[in-house]
Amino acid sequence: MARWSSYHGATLGALSASGRAPLRRPYAPLLLDFPHIPPCYCYRCPFGQSYPACNAACAGALETEILRQGPESVAAFIAEPVVGATLAAAAPPPEYWPRLREICDRYGVLLIADEVMCGMGRTGRWFGVDHWGVSPDILATAKGASGGYFPLGLVLVKGELAEEIRSGAGNFTHGFTHANGVMGAAVGLAVLRYLQDNELVAASARAGKYLLQRLESLRDLPAVGDVRGLGLMAGIELVADKASKRPFPQAQDVAHRVQAKAMERGVIVYYGTGLADGLNGDAVLLGPPFIVTEEQIDEVVGVLREAITQATI
Protein backbone atom coordinates (compact mmCIF):
# COMPACT_ATOMS: atom_id res chain seq x y z
CA MET A 1 0.00 0.00 0.00
CA ALA A 2 1.07 3.57 -0.61
CA ARG A 3 -0.29 7.11 -0.81
CA TRP A 4 -1.54 9.32 -3.59
CA SER A 5 0.60 12.37 -4.41
CA SER A 6 3.78 10.38 -3.85
CA TYR A 7 6.80 9.34 -5.88
CA HIS A 8 8.88 6.22 -5.24
CA GLY A 9 10.61 5.54 -8.55
CA ALA A 10 10.30 4.80 -12.26
CA THR A 11 10.53 1.00 -12.42
CA LEU A 12 7.18 -0.77 -12.59
CA GLY A 13 7.01 -1.83 -8.95
CA ALA A 14 8.07 1.58 -7.66
CA LEU A 15 5.83 3.37 -10.15
CA SER A 16 2.91 1.18 -9.07
CA ALA A 17 3.45 2.43 -5.53
CA SER A 18 3.83 6.03 -6.68
CA GLY A 19 0.74 8.20 -6.57
CA ARG A 20 1.43 10.83 -9.21
CA ALA A 21 -1.27 10.39 -11.86
CA PRO A 22 0.52 11.97 -14.87
CA LEU A 23 3.52 9.68 -14.36
CA ARG A 24 1.36 6.59 -13.93
CA ARG A 25 -0.97 7.21 -16.86
CA PRO A 26 1.34 6.18 -19.76
CA TYR A 27 2.08 2.85 -18.06
CA ALA A 28 -1.36 2.17 -16.58
CA PRO A 29 -1.88 -1.22 -18.32
CA LEU A 30 1.39 -2.50 -16.84
CA LEU A 31 1.10 -1.24 -13.27
CA LEU A 32 0.34 -3.45 -10.30
CA ASP A 33 -2.90 -2.75 -8.47
CA PHE A 34 -1.44 -1.37 -5.24
CA PRO A 35 -4.06 0.25 -2.97
CA HIS A 36 -3.48 3.94 -2.19
CA ILE A 37 -4.71 6.25 0.56
CA PRO A 38 -4.85 10.08 0.62
CA PRO A 39 -1.65 11.90 1.54
CA CYS A 40 -0.95 13.92 4.67
CA TYR A 41 -1.28 17.33 3.07
CA CYS A 42 -2.56 19.87 5.58
CA TYR A 43 -2.64 22.82 3.18
CA ARG A 44 -5.11 21.00 0.93
CA CYS A 45 -6.55 18.44 3.33
CA PRO A 46 -8.06 15.57 1.29
CA PHE A 47 -10.72 15.23 3.99
CA GLY A 48 -11.69 18.90 3.99
CA GLN A 49 -10.67 19.32 7.62
CA SER A 50 -8.21 21.46 9.57
CA TYR A 51 -5.44 20.44 11.94
CA PRO A 52 -5.61 19.67 14.86
CA ALA A 53 -9.40 19.26 14.88
CA CYS A 54 -9.03 16.60 12.16
CA ASN A 55 -7.41 14.19 14.64
CA ALA A 56 -5.00 13.20 11.86
CA ALA A 57 -7.74 11.55 9.80
CA CYS A 58 -5.16 10.92 7.07
CA ALA A 59 -3.38 8.47 9.38
CA GLY A 60 -6.64 6.73 10.24
CA ALA A 61 -7.20 6.21 6.51
CA LEU A 62 -4.44 3.59 6.60
CA GLU A 63 -6.36 1.43 9.05
CA THR A 64 -9.57 1.86 7.07
CA GLU A 65 -7.90 0.71 3.85
CA ILE A 66 -6.09 -2.21 5.52
CA LEU A 67 -9.42 -3.47 6.85
CA ARG A 68 -11.08 -2.93 3.48
CA GLN A 69 -8.40 -4.93 1.69
CA GLY A 70 -8.07 -7.54 4.44
CA PRO A 71 -4.98 -7.41 6.71
CA GLU A 72 -3.80 -10.80 5.46
CA SER A 73 -3.42 -9.34 1.96
CA VAL A 74 -1.34 -6.30 2.93
CA ALA A 75 2.40 -6.91 3.16
CA ALA A 76 3.69 -3.38 3.61
CA PHE A 77 2.91 0.32 3.53
CA ILE A 78 5.39 2.80 2.01
CA ALA A 79 5.48 6.57 2.46
CA GLU A 80 7.85 9.54 2.37
CA PRO A 81 8.27 11.06 5.85
CA VAL A 82 8.47 14.50 4.22
CA VAL A 83 6.97 14.43 0.74
CA GLY A 84 9.41 15.77 -1.82
CA ALA A 85 8.80 16.35 -5.51
CA THR A 86 5.03 15.80 -5.60
CA LEU A 87 4.00 17.98 -2.62
CA ALA A 88 6.99 20.32 -2.18
CA ALA A 89 8.24 19.49 1.31
CA ALA A 90 4.89 18.70 2.90
CA ALA A 91 5.74 17.62 6.46
CA PRO A 92 3.17 15.83 8.65
CA PRO A 93 1.95 16.78 12.14
CA PRO A 94 3.91 15.09 14.95
CA GLU A 95 1.40 12.31 15.66
CA TYR A 96 1.09 11.14 12.05
CA TRP A 97 4.05 8.74 11.75
CA PRO A 98 3.66 7.28 15.28
CA ARG A 99 0.07 6.42 14.34
CA LEU A 100 1.21 4.79 11.11
CA ARG A 101 3.65 2.69 13.14
CA GLU A 102 0.93 1.72 15.60
CA ILE A 103 -1.51 0.73 12.84
CA CYS A 104 1.09 -1.31 10.96
CA ASP A 105 2.05 -3.14 14.16
CA ARG A 106 -1.59 -3.87 14.94
CA TYR A 107 -2.18 -5.61 11.61
CA GLY A 108 1.23 -7.14 10.96
CA VAL A 109 2.08 -4.78 8.11
CA LEU A 110 5.67 -3.73 7.41
CA LEU A 111 6.31 0.02 7.49
CA ILE A 112 8.65 1.32 4.77
CA ALA A 113 10.11 4.82 4.93
CA ASP A 114 11.18 6.28 1.58
CA GLU A 115 13.95 8.62 2.70
CA VAL A 116 15.57 9.00 -0.71
CA MET A 117 15.00 12.75 -0.69
CA CYS A 118 14.51 13.62 2.98
CA GLY A 119 17.14 11.33 4.52
CA MET A 120 20.85 11.71 5.31
CA GLY A 121 20.46 14.90 7.35
CA ARG A 122 18.36 16.91 4.91
CA THR A 123 15.63 17.67 7.48
CA GLY A 124 17.98 18.36 10.39
CA ARG A 125 17.98 14.77 11.66
CA TRP A 126 19.73 11.79 10.12
CA PHE A 127 16.38 10.59 8.81
CA GLY A 128 12.98 12.20 8.60
CA VAL A 129 11.37 9.56 10.83
CA ASP A 130 13.80 10.50 13.61
CA HIS A 131 11.76 13.65 14.23
CA TRP A 132 8.94 11.49 15.56
CA GLY A 133 10.87 8.65 17.19
CA VAL A 134 9.62 6.07 14.69
CA SER A 135 11.65 3.06 13.58
CA PRO A 136 10.46 1.69 10.22
CA ASP A 137 10.92 -1.95 9.26
CA ILE A 138 12.59 -0.97 5.99
CA LEU A 139 14.22 2.33 5.09
CA ALA A 140 15.40 3.35 1.62
CA THR A 141 17.74 6.27 1.06
CA ALA A 142 19.99 7.64 -1.67
CA LYS A 143 20.84 11.09 -3.11
CA GLY A 144 22.57 12.63 -0.07
CA ALA A 145 24.07 9.26 0.85
CA SER A 146 26.83 10.04 -1.64
CA GLY A 147 26.72 13.80 -1.33
CA GLY A 148 25.09 13.79 -4.74
CA TYR A 149 28.36 12.91 -6.48
CA PHE A 150 27.89 9.19 -7.10
CA PRO A 151 24.90 6.95 -7.95
CA LEU A 152 24.35 5.25 -4.60
CA GLY A 153 21.22 3.88 -2.96
CA LEU A 154 20.81 2.03 0.32
CA VAL A 155 18.15 -0.22 1.80
CA LEU A 156 18.22 -0.69 5.57
CA VAL A 157 16.16 -3.46 7.16
CA LYS A 158 15.51 -4.60 10.70
CA GLY A 159 17.51 -7.58 11.90
CA GLU A 160 14.55 -9.94 12.00
CA LEU A 161 13.81 -9.29 8.33
CA ALA A 162 17.41 -9.94 7.36
CA GLU A 163 17.28 -13.16 9.36
CA GLU A 164 14.20 -14.28 7.41
CA ILE A 165 16.24 -13.99 4.22
CA ARG A 166 19.25 -15.76 5.73
CA SER A 167 17.16 -18.66 6.99
CA GLY A 168 15.24 -18.90 3.71
CA ALA A 169 17.03 -18.46 0.40
CA GLY A 170 20.19 -17.42 2.21
CA ASN A 171 20.56 -14.23 0.21
CA PHE A 172 18.60 -11.76 -1.85
CA THR A 173 17.91 -13.67 -5.05
CA HIS A 174 18.04 -10.74 -7.46
CA GLY A 175 21.42 -9.24 -8.29
CA PHE A 176 22.35 -6.23 -10.39
CA THR A 177 25.49 -5.43 -12.33
CA HIS A 178 26.58 -2.55 -10.11
CA ALA A 179 24.98 -3.62 -6.82
CA ASN A 180 27.24 -3.94 -3.78
CA GLY A 181 29.91 -1.94 -5.58
CA VAL A 182 33.02 -1.22 -3.54
CA MET A 183 33.37 2.27 -5.01
CA GLY A 184 29.84 3.19 -3.96
CA ALA A 185 30.48 1.80 -0.48
CA ALA A 186 33.69 3.83 -0.21
CA VAL A 187 31.89 7.00 -1.29
CA GLY A 188 29.06 6.38 1.17
CA LEU A 189 31.45 5.78 4.07
CA ALA A 190 33.39 8.94 3.21
CA VAL A 191 30.18 10.97 3.21
CA LEU A 192 29.09 9.49 6.55
CA ARG A 193 32.43 10.32 8.11
CA TYR A 194 32.36 13.86 6.75
CA LEU A 195 28.81 14.47 7.98
CA GLN A 196 29.76 13.18 11.43
CA ASP A 197 33.17 14.83 11.73
CA ASN A 198 31.84 18.23 10.68
CA GLU A 199 28.52 17.94 12.57
CA LEU A 200 26.65 18.78 9.39
CA VAL A 201 23.32 17.25 10.42
CA ALA A 202 23.18 19.71 13.32
CA ALA A 203 24.24 22.44 10.89
CA SER A 204 21.34 21.45 8.63
CA ALA A 205 18.94 21.84 11.55
CA ARG A 206 20.26 25.30 12.44
CA ALA A 207 20.33 26.57 8.86
CA GLY A 208 16.93 25.01 8.18
CA LYS A 209 15.35 26.87 11.06
CA TYR A 210 16.68 30.15 9.70
CA LEU A 211 15.65 29.29 6.14
CA LEU A 212 12.04 28.64 7.11
CA GLN A 213 11.95 31.80 9.24
CA ARG A 214 13.13 33.87 6.28
CA LEU A 215 10.83 32.16 3.79
CA GLU A 216 7.88 33.12 5.99
CA SER A 217 8.51 36.71 4.91
CA LEU A 218 7.34 35.76 1.41
CA ARG A 219 3.79 35.14 2.61
CA ASP A 220 2.97 38.78 1.90
CA LEU A 221 3.27 38.08 -1.83
CA PRO A 222 -0.17 37.59 -3.45
CA ALA A 223 0.93 34.34 -5.14
CA VAL A 224 2.43 32.62 -2.08
CA GLY A 225 -0.20 30.32 -0.62
CA ASP A 226 1.94 28.27 1.74
CA VAL A 227 5.46 28.03 3.09
CA ARG A 228 6.45 24.71 4.64
CA GLY A 229 9.21 22.24 5.23
CA LEU A 230 11.55 20.68 7.75
CA GLY A 231 15.24 21.48 8.10
CA LEU A 232 16.85 22.34 4.78
CA MET A 233 13.96 20.87 2.80
CA ALA A 234 11.50 23.66 2.14
CA GLY A 235 8.65 24.34 -0.26
CA ILE A 236 6.60 27.31 -1.42
CA GLU A 237 3.17 26.64 -2.90
CA LEU A 238 1.97 29.21 -5.42
CA VAL A 239 -1.69 30.08 -5.92
CA ALA A 240 -3.78 32.41 -8.05
CA ASP A 241 -6.05 33.22 -5.10
CA LYS A 242 -5.05 32.87 -1.45
CA ALA A 243 -8.51 32.80 0.07
CA SER A 244 -9.78 29.92 -2.06
CA LYS A 245 -6.33 28.35 -2.66
CA ARG A 246 -7.23 28.34 -6.34
CA PRO A 247 -4.20 27.20 -8.34
CA PHE A 248 -2.83 28.83 -11.43
CA PRO A 249 -3.94 27.12 -14.65
CA GLN A 250 -1.45 24.55 -15.85
CA ALA A 251 -1.02 26.44 -19.11
CA GLN A 252 0.55 29.41 -17.30
CA ASP A 253 3.55 27.25 -16.34
CA VAL A 254 4.08 29.38 -13.24
CA ALA A 255 6.45 27.15 -11.26
CA HIS A 256 8.70 26.63 -14.26
CA ARG A 257 8.77 30.37 -14.86
CA VAL A 258 9.75 31.01 -11.23
CA GLN A 259 12.54 28.48 -11.60
CA ALA A 260 13.80 30.19 -14.76
CA LYS A 261 13.68 33.66 -13.18
CA ALA A 262 15.58 32.42 -10.12
CA MET A 263 18.15 30.67 -12.31
CA GLU A 264 18.83 33.95 -14.13
CA ARG A 265 19.89 35.32 -10.74
CA GLY A 266 22.02 32.33 -9.79
CA VAL A 267 19.60 30.46 -7.52
CA ILE A 268 18.58 26.89 -8.35
CA VAL A 269 15.16 25.66 -7.23
CA TYR A 270 13.19 22.52 -8.10
CA TYR A 271 9.78 23.21 -9.59
CA GLY A 272 6.71 21.07 -9.01
CA THR A 273 3.30 20.91 -10.64
CA GLY A 274 0.00 19.12 -10.14
CA LEU A 275 -0.22 19.69 -6.38
CA ALA A 276 -3.89 20.70 -6.41
CA ASP A 277 -5.42 18.02 -8.61
CA GLY A 278 -2.65 16.13 -10.37
CA LEU A 279 -2.44 18.67 -13.20
CA ASN A 280 -2.84 22.15 -11.73
CA GLY A 281 -1.00 23.50 -8.72
CA ASP A 282 2.50 24.98 -8.65
CA ALA A 283 5.32 24.98 -6.13
CA VAL A 284 9.06 25.37 -5.84
CA LEU A 285 11.23 23.20 -3.62
CA LEU A 286 14.48 24.30 -1.99
CA GLY A 287 17.33 22.12 -0.75
CA PRO A 288 20.39 24.25 0.05
CA PRO A 289 23.69 22.60 1.02
CA PHE A 290 24.23 21.95 4.72
CA ILE A 291 27.05 24.53 4.77
CA VAL A 292 24.81 27.36 3.56
CA THR A 293 25.29 30.61 5.48
CA GLU A 294 22.63 33.00 6.75
CA GLU A 295 23.86 35.60 4.27
CA GLN A 296 23.36 33.14 1.41
CA ILE A 297 19.89 32.26 2.67
CA ASP A 298 19.03 35.96 2.73
CA GLU A 299 20.18 36.20 -0.88
CA VAL A 300 18.11 33.17 -1.89
CA VAL A 301 14.98 34.61 -0.28
CA GLY A 302 15.55 37.96 -1.98
CA VAL A 303 15.95 36.30 -5.36
CA LEU A 304 12.81 34.22 -4.81
CA ARG A 305 10.82 37.34 -3.96
CA GLU A 306 11.82 38.88 -7.28
CA ALA A 307 11.34 35.66 -9.25
CA ILE A 308 7.87 34.95 -7.85
CA THR A 309 6.76 38.55 -8.35
CA GLN A 310 7.90 38.63 -11.96
CA ALA A 311 6.60 35.16 -12.85
CA THR A 312 3.11 35.75 -11.46
CA ILE A 313 2.35 39.21 -12.82
Classify residue 191: in a domain, yes or no.
Answer: no
Last-in-domain residue among 114, 141, 168: 141
Residues 117 and 224 in one domain: no
Q: What is the pLDDT of residue 102?
A: 99
Q: Is the pLDDT of residue 177 over 90?
A: no
Distance CA 252, CA 312 (A): 9
List the CATH number of the domain containing 231: 3.90.1150.10
Classify residue 150: in a domain, yes or no.
Answer: no
Domain of residue 257, residue span: 200-311
Average pLDDT over residues 209-220: 99
Q: What is the pLDDT of residue 53?
A: 95
Residues 234 and 111 in one domain: no
Classify residue 157: in a domain, yes or no.
Answer: no
Q: Is the pLDDT of residue 142 over 90?
A: yes
Last-in-domain residue among 94, 116, 141: 141
- What is the residue-averaged pLDDT of the chain? 97
Render pLDDT for 63-82 as a digit per residue (tens, 0 to 9): 999 999 999 999 999 999 99
The whole-model pTM stands at 0.96
Q: Is the pLDDT of residue 246 over 90?
A: yes
Q: Is the pLDDT of residue 174 over 90?
A: no
Residues 205 and 296 in one domain: yes
Last-in-domain residue among 90, 118, 141: 141
Render pLDDT for 87-122 as a digit per residue (tens, 0 to 9): 999 999 999 999 999 999 999 999 999 999 999 999
